[in-house]
Structure 1
């Protein structure tokens, strides 16, 4: 199981809480970090220098003990911090006094497919804050737009069928040009979901397009990572997950692959499958989000790590 922030199990809750404390050690200097990995290229780099001496001098400012056993990458915007937690909710915390401003429950309820031994899937993907709204992937499979000031829900749109198909929104939200993008994957691979990337209108929550990892909309190619966008080419890049049982990298080339997608039409522009003769048994897939970068000689690259090592 994965999460974009911290994922711990019994006996390690303190380590998880302390990790969040270090992130919050210098909120006044950190500036806004409005979605996971900071920017459209996925650099996770605010461009602020940090010397080795400064790093050694870092101390815990305050600690926030999030409920549950996991939480997402914290998002900072407009003097508040936003995160999803294993307690089943998205939380807003004021950084001036470090007190909770509001929270909203987003966990799934009801029964799950028999092979999934969980009781209440909670949200794990990081939210994104755009134009006074917090966009959140819910543990119940719905996308939410929540007023950042009040915690009131503006809209919610069902995306993944958690209860019947075992689908889940592991992916952190990616905002781009008036839309928000979120990946759909399997909650657990005992019931492999049809991997896809869904685009929604930020203002209304209407689904504006869906990219499918399988051309027939079959199982495989789940997206549990965030995307990256290249402004020079207009391409949206995604990394995808497990090839379906009975398929190979030849028959399902957009699974366990880099894929370039047109963010407006949600069609495939290009793809690269790095593992020849890949199958479901190997369980190779991309568990990291793509990052765009330039080499010293000016060439453009995209990088991500695959489970094949």
Structure 2
């Protein structure tokens, strides 16, 4: 028989082994549910919405000319979302009935869900499914770390799906359909999910909001109302951009409604605290810079600028008036530190008016895009520009002849990718030279969505389906 002390040591030793094994199992599980290096797990790559994947090395200035079409996935409906890539799976939404997709890197189906549609014959477009880009993030659900697909549905519900199976974990109704719609893409931070709410298409306007939900349960934690209760307008079409170091969120708002005299936050750029969505700063577009239906339909980009030897934190966003605005992050109420005219003003981006395209930031240069513009005396249907982050001066300009740039600018070291008309264009980030271009044989199939670039492949959607371009 073992003595008391020996048994205690044996039990303690066994306990230590069990704890070590459980720790190892948990660590391996946690590793399996975190996005791998080189993935593109959320809209514009990260919560700062830089649109830049610094880990990409396969596609570069030397290899981009050798890109070719790997495969296409016919969707049968519009894809306006940006594909997200995590742990060997591509997640993308479409406007059809079966509208949230998980696809393997070789184009094999993993799962497909139907997350509802909104239809209103008074609006254009009449029917839309999923227009929200998914965020793939690990969250503790029922005590277990689970990789979750967070996405706005086509039925005004916000969904959390098991990223591996597509099974619904929870859903939360954010508004009534068909008036309310989630065009916004979610951001996940500190156990919460943040997403904007807008109208289906200004027909009619609804009260714009940013909503904070518990990532594990879907319970609404806080709401920022852009306009007072009982009023309409100020829809949030873009994604909330998060300054994780400072715990603040930036977003822009849409057109005012009937209570316009009390809707000071409409057609504005706003900063709130991530903890409770309380207001920090805001800036309203001056009346002399506004245009008809000239609200914000874009997402802010965090970047930095060196001014007089001092690194300054900045944030920028484009408006449908064709102006890109840059602010000092610590005082956006003071107004823009610079403005850059990137397109003609107007309320119809698909016609070439203004810009709804989020910029990309590669750590040194800002890349902005938009609709109809003039470059070196030539009329261009769209424009891509490299911008000095300190001054807003253009470093180079690239004229687009096939159509306006509607989706976000995407970047990897040395390379910029955009969709324009029925083309995907790959541009040298240093010289602005075209390195590669792919043309959809269907001249009417416009690339509305932004490209994701991950592990040597460009993924991008249009009105026909999803495309994979690689070496």
- Higher mean C-alpha deviation, range 257-266 or range 41-50: 41-50
2:117 alignment partner, one of 101, 108, 119: 108
2:197–2:208 Cα contact (<8 Å) kept: yes
Distance in structure 1 (CA, Å) of the matches to 2:230 and 2:242: 24
Q: 2:124, 2:201 within 8 Å by CA — same for their partners in 1?
A: no
| Aligned residue in 2 for 1:161 | 176
TM superposition score normalised by structure 1: 0.82
Shift of 1:183: 0.7
Normalised by the size of structure 2, how large is the TM-score? 0.55
| Secondary structure, counterpart of 2:128 in structure 1 | coil
Equivalences for residues 89-238 of structure 1 within 5 A: 89-95=99-105, 97-108=106-117, 112=120, 115-116=122-123, 120-131=127-138, 132-163=147-178, 166-216=179-229, 218-238=231-251
Which runs of no fewer than 5 residues in structure 1 stay unpaired?
A: 1-28
Q: Which runs of 5+ in 2 are unaligned?
A: 1-35, 139-146, 323-471
Deviation at 1:192, TM superposition (A): 0.6
Query: Are the counterparts in 1 of residues 95 and 117 from structure 2 also a CA contact under 8 Å?
Result: no
What secondary structure sits across from 1:103 in the alignment? Answer: strand
CA contact (8 A) 1:36 1:128 kept: yes
Q: Tell me how far apart the structure 2 counterparts of residues 287 and 71 of structure 1 sit (CA, whole Å).
A: 13
Does 1:83 find its partner at 2:89? no
- How far apart, in 1, do the equivalents of 2:82 and 2:217 lie? 25
- Name the counterpart of 2:260: 247
User: Could you list the per-position Cα deviations for residues 253-281 of structure 1 after superposition, in whole angstroms to 9, with x for gaps in the alignment?
Assistant: 211111001122111111011333677x7
Rg larger in 1 or in 2?
A: 2
1:267 aligns with 2:274: no
Shift of the 116–282 alpha-carbon distance from structure 1 to 2, 3 Å rule, reads closer
Is it true that 1:54 corresponds to 2:67 in the alignment?
no
Query: 1 or 2 for the larger relative contact order (CA 8 Å, sep ≥6)?
Result: 2
Residue 41 (structure 2) pairs with residue 34 (structure 1): yes
Structure with bigger strand share is 2
Give, in angstroms, the shift of residue 296 of structure 1: 2.5
Per the alignment, in what secondary structure is the counterpart of residue 300 of structure 1? Answer: strand
1:145 aligned counterpart, secondary structure? strand
Two-structure CA RMSD over aligned residues (Å): 2.1
